[in-house]
Structure formats: structure tokens, C-alpha cells
Structure 1
């Protein structure tokens, strides 16, 4: 085969440090656009970025030349620097160390995009912690509560 092809779609989730609710409505659209721009600069297709005050979700088709960990590192580093420049009170902004990366079947991309689009409504009744635990259960991931939320 003369060329390399891949279609790897991933649903990423990561939160602010200590899940501090600092991604307010005034900065949120710009942050989401910036995260999508970082993804595009890494030759990845970003289907959607969304979230609420303490975390973000991205639906992304990864380029075949980047690992999940490298992608998340570049997202977090670049967006953290961007956030710190937006408002003086965000000067100490940072993301929590960990992240979730869940595989998505190409046929399920629309459902994931719809899920990300409905984050505001979704989080009226469910905390980030409850949402994340549900993803871990859905994918059969065993976890230690202390490790997940450090």
C-alpha cells in the first residue's frame, strides 16, 4: 500500500484545575474557537468543541502523525497560555493534569457532536464528576476515585 490512511475519531474531555468554574460565558466562545484552531494547526479535523465553566469536550479526527498524548499536551499548553492573556483574573489559569480520550465510531460522530452541543442543558442536572464517571462506566474503565479527581 503506497500511502497511510487513518480514521480515528476521539471524544476528549478535560477540566480546569480543581474543576474551578472559570470558563465564563464571556471567554468560552473564544476558548472553544482557539481549541479548534489548535486542532486544525495539528492537521486534525475538529468536529466540535464545547463545554461549561469547568471543563471542555472536543470531538476530533486525529491526524495519523500525532499521538493522543501529544495532541492533548498541545491543546492544553496553547489554550492555557491563551486563557491567561484574556482577563487579569485568569492569570493563574491551568488545566487539570489528566484527561479522557474515548474512541468514537465514525457512525456515532453526529451523536457525540449533539452531546457536546447540549452541554449547558446537560449540566443543569449533572455534575462534571457524575458525567465523567458515566463515561468511564460506559467504556468499562476501572478507576480509583482518588486518582480520577486529584
Structure 2
């Protein structure tokens, strides 16, 4: 059962890119709450809804799985990276990432407009805490979303 929703901008990295790559490090998380979830709650084997944001039709577009639990994001130490953080000490890294493995595309993306209109999904963080890049998905909401795809 998917437990998480990870947001990505499809112009930067899409579900198609994840399918092509098979697996990828999910880097660039620079929000403390999202980082804490990676560190404290996200576990290998957890399923993840992939959500395309900042695009014409924001939508849940597929599924992935955590293939490696949280570890230091090396981009925080790379001055050439857009994710560089000069305040992050090498001996106590501030930022983490996980690795994701592609599972599948959804036959029909579930657009944000449909999620907002569905009373069964009214408690989703996607609606109530929309800016957070790593969001919890309660079991009932996950089952409801998956049932729409069958």
C-alpha cells in the first residue's frame, strides 16, 4: 500500500525519466519536515505515489518504491550543484535523500482537481499542506486512489 506522495516537477524529472532510469536518487530535498520524514519514517520497501507538480495538469501519475533508505545527499557538498548548502557540515550532513525504484505508470493520471473534488480524499496533505514535497498518505486514501485506477 502506498504510504507516501513525492512531488516532482516533470520538466526537471518525470515519471517517464524514472521509468527510463529504473531507479534514481531522490535528491534536492531542502525542507526540514520533508528531511525529517526521510530520516525518521520512510523505509525501504515503502510504496510512493509520484506526483507531477508545477505543470499544466498537476496529477498523481504513477508508483515507485523506496529501494534505499535515507543517506546523506552529496549534492549539499557540491558547489556546482543547485542543491549546494555551504552551511552543511561534512561530519554532520544536514540533508538526506533516498533511492526510488520505478514500479508503474497509472493508466490515467489522477489530477489535483479530481483529488480536491473527492470527499474521500479531503484529508490528504496534498490538499491541506500542498507545498510539502514529501507527504504522508493515509491507508484509506491510498486504497481509494488505487481503486480508481483498476
Which has more strand, going by share of residues? 2
Fold match (TM-score > 0.5): no
Tell me the TM-score normalised to structure 1 length: 0.30
